[in-house]
Amino acid sequence: MPRRAEPPARRATVRDVAARAGVSPGTVSKALNGTGQISRATRDRILAAAQEIDFRPNALARSVFERRSYTVGLITTDSFERFSVPVMLGAEDALGAGKISVFMCDSRDDPIREKHYVDVLLGRRVDGFIVTGRIFNEREPLDVSPGVPVVYALTPSSDPGDCSIVVDDAAAGRVAGEHLIRLGRRRIGHITGSAWFDPARRRAAGLAEALGAAGLEVAGDPLYGDWTEAWGRQATHILLRSCPEVDAIYCGSDILARGVGDSLRELGRRVPEDVALIGTDNWEFIAGGARPPLTSVDLGLSTVGRLAARRLLEAIGGNSRAGKEYVPCHLVVRGSTDDLPPASTGSAS
Amino acid sequence: MPRRAEPPARRATVRDVAARAGVSPGTVSKALNGTGQISRATRDRILAAAQEIDFRPNALARSVFERRSYTVGLITTDSFERFSVPVMLGAEDALGAGKISVFMCDSRDDPIREKHYVDVLLGRRVDGFIVTGRIFNEREPLDVSPGVPVVYALTPSSDPGDCSIVVDDAAAGRVAGEHLIRLGRRRIGHITGSAWFDPARRRAAGLAEALGAAGLEVAGDPLYGDWTEAWGRQATHILLRSCPEVDAIYCGSDILARGVGDSLRELGRRVPEDVALIGTDNWEFIAGGARPPLTSVDLGLSTVGRLAARRLLEAIGGNSRAGKEYVPCHLVVRGSTDDLPPASTGSAS
C-alpha cells in the first residue's frame, strides 16, 4: 500500500481513509460507525489511517445510517425581514443548544420556490421544518411527505391538525387599552394598518374589549390604512378632526406611531401630556428613536421562535401537538405614556 | 426475508431498504451510488426495494462518497440585522440556483460560539463558509482547516491572502459630494457615526476628496458621534451654530439623516430648498418614510452577498482569489435633493 509522506492539503475524506487503509469506502464507514461485520485488525488499520490523515468525525456520514440528520429547514416567506428574524434567532437559540444545524430558505412567498426548497431539504433528510413569514394570516400547509414534522411560527397553518405558534394579537390590543385606562385616559383612538391583515382586526377587537370593560368605546372608528408613517400622519389629522378631545392613541405598529407622534407635535399636542401614545412591535430601532421614545407592545417574536423549535424537537421525538398556541405579549414602557408600568405587565426597554 | 404489507409511515431510510432487500446498509449505499462491486441481481433487488417503500434519492448519503456536500455555512456576527440580511439574501440567490443549501449561524460576535459553529459545520462537511457581520472593520480569519474555502463579506479578513468582498465607503462619500456639487451646493457639512468605525472615516475622506476636487472643504469639521437619530438632531444644531450658511448635509446613515431632517424642519430650514440632504444605506423603510423622502447612497449589500457566493463557488472549484474586492455604490435620488440624477450615477428608488 502506498504511504504518502504528507496528509493531503484538502480535507481528508472517507475515500482517502479507504485508500490509505487499503479497503473500500463502505468498509471505512462501517468501521467508523461501528456497524457491520469487520475484523478487529481491519478496524484498527482504518482508525489509524483516519488519524494519520486527520480525518474528522463526520456527522454527515454518521447520519446516513441513523434515522436523523440533526438538521432542520427554516423556511420564511418574507426574506428574513423584521418579523421573521427574531423568530429565526429564537429558533436557532433553541436548536443550536442541541447541536442541530439549521438550513435557511427564503421562499419569497412563491409556492414554486417553496416546493423546490422542500424537495431539496427532504433529499438532505432534514428532521423537520419550521415555517415562518411576515403575513400572520393563515397559510396552506407545507407540502411534505407524511411523517415529516412541521411547526408553523407567526403564520399559522390552515389545517387545525398542524402545530402553529402565534402571537396573541387580541391581547396586544387589550394590554394597550388597559394600560391607557389605568393612566386615566378616556378618549382613546386607534390607528392601524390594513384590515385585510387578520392581526389588525384582532388588535382592534382586543382594544375595544378592554375599553368596553371600562364602559368606553374606541374614539371614532378604528382607522385602517396601510403600514406607513405617511398613513400615521394622515390618520392623526382625520382622528383629531372627528374627535378633537382624544387623549390617547393606540397604534397597530411602531412605524405608524412614529407618524402619529410627528403629526401630534406639529398640531401642538404634547405627547404624553395631552395625548398618550402606544405602538406595537417594540422595534427598538424605531420606538427608541422617537421623540419621546415610544411605549410599545412587544409581541414576543423570539419566544415564538424558541417555542416553535421546542415543539419541533418534541415532534421529531414522536410527541407532536395540534392546534394554535399563543405566546403572551407584554408592554414596554417608554416616554410616550406618562407613568411607570405596574410590575406585573411591564418591563424596562 | 420478511415483507411488510405497508411502507413505514415515517420516511424510509437506507436501513429500511437494506432490511427489505436482505443486504447490509453499506451494500444499499453502493447500489444507490453506483460504487463498489455488486452483482446485477443484488442491485436490482435493492432498487426495487427502494421503490416499493418510497425511498427518496438521498443527497445526504450520496455526498458521503463525494468530495462535496453541496452545503455552505453562512456565519454572521450581527444576529442577521439590516446589514447582513441583504448580504445573506444575495448569497442565497447565487447559491440556491446551484442547488447548494445554506446553513445559517449567528455567532453574535462571540468567538466561542463561532468556533462551535465552525466545528459543527466542518463535521457536516460543508464545502466552504461565507462570513459576514455589521462591523465593517477588519476581523481575524476564521479558524478552519487548511483547504476549506472562506469568503468574507462586508467585514474583511485581516489576512491579505483571504478573499474579502467589501463596500466602497470612500466612493459613497465621493458620490454624495459630487452630486451635491452638481446641484450647485457649496457649503456642505458632514454628520456621521463613530470614528472608531473605519467606514465612517472612509466616507468622510471620500466626501472631502470630492469637495477638494472642486476647491471646497467640508463645512465645519465632520461631526462624529453615534449612529442614532438623537445624534443626528443634536449634530444639526452644532453644525448650524458653527456654519449657519450650510446649504447641504451628507450623513453617514439614513437614520442620522432622519434626525437631521427633523431638526432642520424645526429650525425653519426647508429641505431641499435651503439645505439638501443625502443619507447612506438606502434603507427603504427609513429613507422612504422621511419628509421629504431621503436621497441616499446605496452601498450594494445584496451585490456583496451575490459576489461573495460566486467567489466561494469558484474557490470550491479550486480557483480562489486573494485580497479585497470593492462593490460599487450608487445614488438613489428622492425628494431631499432638488434635482433629477444624471443618468450615469442615479437610479429611481
Could B9 and A146 be called an inter-chain contact, meaning their C-beta atoms sit closer than 8 Å? yes
Cell digits for A210? 378592554
If DSSP codes are grouped into helix, strand and coil, which group holds residue A108? coil
Residue B63 has pLDDT above 70, yes or no: no
If DSSP codes are grouped into helix, strand and coil, which group holds residue B166? strand
CA distance A334 to A290: 10
Which stretch of DSSP H or E encloses residue A325?
Answer: strand A323-327
Residue B18 has pLDDT above 70, yes or no: yes
pLDDT (tens digit per residue) in B215-238? 999 999 899 999 999 999 999 999
Could B147 and A58 be called an inter-chain contact, meaning their C-beta atoms sit closer than 8 Å? no
B123 has a chain A CB within 8 A of its CB: yes
How many Å lie between the alpha carbon of B124 and the closest alpha carbon of chain A?
A: 5
Could B125 and A58 be called an inter-chain contact, meaning their C-beta atoms sit closer than 8 Å? yes
How many Å lie between the alpha carbon of A128 and the closest alpha carbon of chain B?
A: 11
CA distance B77 to B133: 5
B216 has a chain A CB within 8 A of its CB: no
- Give B 72-101 residues with CB within 8 A of chain A: 74, 79-81, 85, 88-89, 92, 96, 99, 101
How many Å lie between the alpha carbon of A60 and the closest alpha carbon of chain B?
A: 5
Q: Which residues of A touch B230 (CB under 8 A)?
A: 289
Instruction: Note the pLDDT of residue B333.
Output: 95
Cell digits for A283? 422595534
A67 has a chain B CB within 8 A of its CB: yes
pLDDT (tens digit per residue) in A185-209? 999 999 999 999 889 999 999 999 9
Instruction: Note the pLDDT of residue A13.
Output: 75
Residue A88, CA atoms < 13 Å, CB-side half-sphere: 30
CA distance B338 to B222: 23
How many Å lie between the alpha carbon of B247 and the closest alpha carbon of chain A?
A: 24
Which DSSP category does B336 fall into?
Answer: T
Q: Are B135 and B194 contacting, i.e. CB atoms less than 8 angstroms apart?
A: no
Residue B344 has pLDDT above 50, yes or no: no
Interface test with A, best of B23, B42, B64 (most A CBs within 10 A): B64
Residue B203 has pLDDT above 90, yes or no: yes
A162 has a chain B CB within 8 A of its CB: no
- Which position has the higher pLDDT, B348 or B216? B216
Beta bridge partners of A224: A192
Q: Which residues of A touch B231 (CB under 8 A)?
A: none
CA distance B180 to B10: 64
| Strand bridging mode B71-76 / B163-167 | unpaired
In chain A, whose CA is at the least distance from the CA of B58?
A: A123
Q: Are B9 and A146 contacting, i.e. CB atoms less than 8 angstroms apart?
A: yes
A103 has a chain B CB within 8 A of its CB: yes
Closest CB from B10, B30, B285 relative to A26: B30
Could A74 and B259 be called an inter-chain contact, meaning their C-beta atoms sit closer than 8 Å? no
In chain B, whose CA is at the least distance from the CA of A265?
A: B266
**First-to-last C-alpha distance (Å) of chain A:** 67
pLDDT (tens digit per residue) in B88-131? 888 888 887 667 899 988 888 888 888 888 988 988 889 999 99
Residue ranges of domains in chain B, CATH in brackets = 14-57 (1.10.260.40), 68-167+301-328 (3.40.50.2300), 169-299+332-337 (3.40.50.2300)
Residue that has been written with the C-alpha cell 479497503 in this structure: A23
Closest CB from A8, A60, A122 relative to B69: A60
Interface test with A, best of B15, B101, B112, B281 (most A CBs within 10 A): B101
B266 has a chain A CB within 8 A of its CB: no
A26 has a chain B CB within 8 A of its CB: yes
**First-to-last C-alpha distance (Å) of chain B:** 67
Residue that has been written with the C-alpha cell 392581526 in this structure: A199
Averaged over B308-316, what is the pLDDT?
93
Q: Which residues of B touch A26 (CB under 8 A)?
A: 26-27, 29-30, 35-36
pLDDT along chain A (349 residues), means of 10: 45 80 81 69 81 64 62 84 79 78 86 87 91 84 89 94 96 98 96 93 98 96 94 97 97 96 95 97 89 95 92 92 95 87 41
ipTM score of complex = 0.74
In chain A, whose CA is at the least distance from the CA of B89?
A: A79
| Strand bridging mode B330-332 / B295-298 | antiparallel
Q: Which residues of B touch A10 (CB under 8 A)?
A: 67, 147
Q: What pLDDT band is residue B9 in, cutting at 50, 70 and 90?
A: low
Residue B52 has pLDDT above 60, yes or no: yes
Residue B190 has pLDDT above 70, yes or no: yes
CA distance B120 to A22: 29
CA distance A126 to A101: 10
Instruction: Note the pLDDT of residue B294.
Output: 97
Could A289 and B148 be called an inter-chain contact, meaning their C-beta atoms sit closer than 8 Å? no
Q: Are B85 and A85 contacting, i.e. CB atoms less than 8 angstroms apart?
A: yes
Largest Cα–Cα distance in chain B? 92
Size of interface A-B (CB pairs under 8 A): 163
Share of residues in chain B with pLDDT > 70 (%): 87
A148 has a chain B CB within 8 A of its CB: yes
Please, which residues have CB within 8 angstroms of residue B244's CB and are 6 or more apart in sequence?
A: none
CA distance B342 to B347: 9
A64 has a chain B CB within 8 A of its CB: yes
Instruction: Note the pLDDT of residue B342.
Output: 43
B34 has a chain A CB within 8 A of its CB: no
DSSP H helices, A53-141, are 59-64, 84-96, 111-123
Could A255 and B74 be called an inter-chain contact, meaning their C-beta atoms sit closer than 8 Å? no
Q: What pLDDT band is residue B11 in, cutting at 50, 70 and 90?
A: low
If DSSP codes are grouped into helix, strand and coil, which group holds residue A16? helix
pLDDT (tens digit per residue) in B253-284? 999 999 999 999 999 999 999 999 999 999 88
Among residues B71, B118, B136, B84, the alpha carbon closest in space to that of A88 is found at B84
A322 has a chain B CB within 8 A of its CB: no
